Amino acid sequence: MHKHFLSAADLTPNEAEALLARAARLKAEWHAGDQAQWPLRGKTLALVFEKPSLRTRVAFEAGMTQLGGHGSYLSANDIDMGGRESVPDVARNLSRWVQVIAARVFKHTTVETLARHASVPVINALSDREHPCQALADMLTLRERFGQLQGLKLTYVGDGNNVCHSLLLLGATLGVNVSVACPPDYRPDPDLLAQAESLATANAATVVVTTSPVEAVTGADAIYTDVWTSMGQEHETARRQPVFAPYQVNLALMAHAKPTAVFMHCLPVHRGEEVTAEVIDGPQAVVFDQAENRLHVQKALILTLLGF
């Protein structure tokens, strides 16, 4: 496996499968109350966060604690990367003190620069390009629900954003057929989309992008959406809402998917906007399974990157 984890495409199919299998074992041990082993005793994870967080921060900190290590949270006010401290200097300093860095940043170039100058593994805990840890948790959730991933149809509806990008890449790597429904001006990044299409071809899967939500969700095993306006884009909210209104996930749209389909969301959610309350609070939703699985996949990722 790569020294760093910056993109969902950093994993080969075998590496991704092994990581999910390890996460499943760690989850089973956690639910069984088996905390006898502390492989990361004395190890520290630096959480370098330019953006606020609930799931990402707590899942990383709790995961390190459960493995015997420690998470050290550093907000934008603590570091001011690119201002008071240059990004390369942050990487070089942290590398002298900690064993792994997780960075939640605005620009993907920031996490790339951290990785370039760090001598310890760097994990992309969210950037404007990708959210690969979320995609790992999503694939573990689908694996638990359906027993396998190859051949499943996952439909993403909404903004072709960082979450969409990582789902495209990891889904294609694992043989999941990914369809995306989005407004014409909010399609996924074309270079990343081409990369996902290449991965899909290599792994007997398909990637489809359309403007029609009904076309995209027809026959889907899972329907996924995210907020219409991501952090840092708040000034675009008024412009985006009428554009995305036809892409709301509601019971009428869910009816076009398979009867066994699940609803997914990375959270936080704006009920009544990208999804109605009856869907996200209904029996098809697995959003809190996804949230829990962040803990387990991130534990598996840290252990693997550190060679345990």
The string of pLDDT tens digits covering residues 116-130 is: 999 999 999 999 999
**Highest CATH level, class, for 8-131+293-305:** alpha beta
- The pLDDT of residue 237 is 81
Catalytic residue, candidates 131, 143, 240, 296: 131
Looking at the domain that runs over 134-290, which CATH code has it been given?
Answer: 3.40.50.1370
Catalytic annotation, pick one of 133, 266, 284, 298: 266
Phi, psi of 178 (to 5 degrees): -110, 125
What 3 state SS string does 70-91 have? EEEEEEHHHHCECCCECHHHHH
Put the strands of the sheet holding 222-225 in their side by side order: 207-210, 177-181, 153-157, 222-225, 262-265
Sheet holding 70-75, edge to edge: 70-75, 44-49, 100-104, 122-126
Query: What does the pLDDT read at residue 84?
Result: 86
Contact between 247 and 181 (Cβ < 8 Å):
yes
Residue 289's nearest CA partner among 130, 158, 140 is 140
Residue 74 token pair: 């550093």
Instruction: Please provide the distance, in angstroms rounded to a whole number, between the alpha carbons at the two ends of the chain.
Output: 12
Q: Given 226, 284, 290, 296, which residue is catalytic?
A: 226
CB 124 within 8 A of CB 49: no
Three-state helix/strand/coil letters over 239-295: HHHHHHHHHCECHHHHCCCCCCCEEEECCCCCECCCECHHHHCCCCECHHHHHHHHH
Each domain of the chain, given as residue ranges in start order, spans 8-131+293-305, 134-290
The pLDDT score that the predictor gives to residue 231 is: 66
Q: Is 129 a catalytic residue?
A: no
Give pLDDT tens digits along the chain (308 positions): 679 999 999 999 999 999 999 999 999 999 998 766 789 999 999 999 999 899 999 999 999 999 999 999 999 988 888 888 999 999 999 999 999 999 999 999 999 999 999 999 999 999 999 999 999 999 999 999 999 999 999 999 999 999 999 999 999 999 999 999 999 999 999 999 999 999 999 999 999 999 999 999 999 999 999 999 876 677 788 899 999 999 999 999 999 999 999 999 999 999 999 999 999 999 999 999 999 999 999 999 999 999 99
Nearest Cα to 126, choosing from 54, 202, 77, 183?
A: 54
Q: Would residue 55 show up in a list of annotated catalytic residues for this protein?
A: no
Structure tokens at 297: 């996949």
Q: Is 133 a catalytic residue?
A: no
- The alpha carbons of the chain give a radius of gyration, in whole angstroms, of 19
From the candidates 4, 55, 57, 104, which is the catalytic residue?
104
CA distance 69 to 63: 8
pLDDT tens figures, 285-307: 999 999 999 999 999 999 999 99
Would you tell me how many other CB atoms lie within 10 Å of the CB of residue 72?
16
Active site residue 41: no
Give me the helices (H) in the chain, please: 13-31, 55-66, 76-79, 87-97, 108-117, 132-146, 162-173, 190-202, 213-217, 237-244, 251-254, 277-280, 287-305
Q: What is the pLDDT of residue 241?
A: 94
Is position 104 annotated as part of the catalytic site?
yes
Residue of 10, 66, 133, 134 marked active site: 134
Predicted pLDDT at 275: 98
User: Do the domains at 8-131+293-305 and 134-290 have one common CATH topology?
Assistant: yes
Q: Tokens for 60?
A: 């990383």
pLDDT in tens, 248-267: 999 999 999 999 999 999 99
134 is catalytic: yes
Closest CA to 4 of 128, 132, 96: 132
Catalytic one of 165, 265, 294, 296: 294
**Helix 190-202 × helix 162-173 angle, to 10°:** 20
For the CA atoms of 53, 261, 154, 112, the dihedral, rounded to the nearest 10 degrees, stands at 10
Q: What is d(CA 135, CA 301) in angstroms, rounded to the nearest whole number?
A: 12
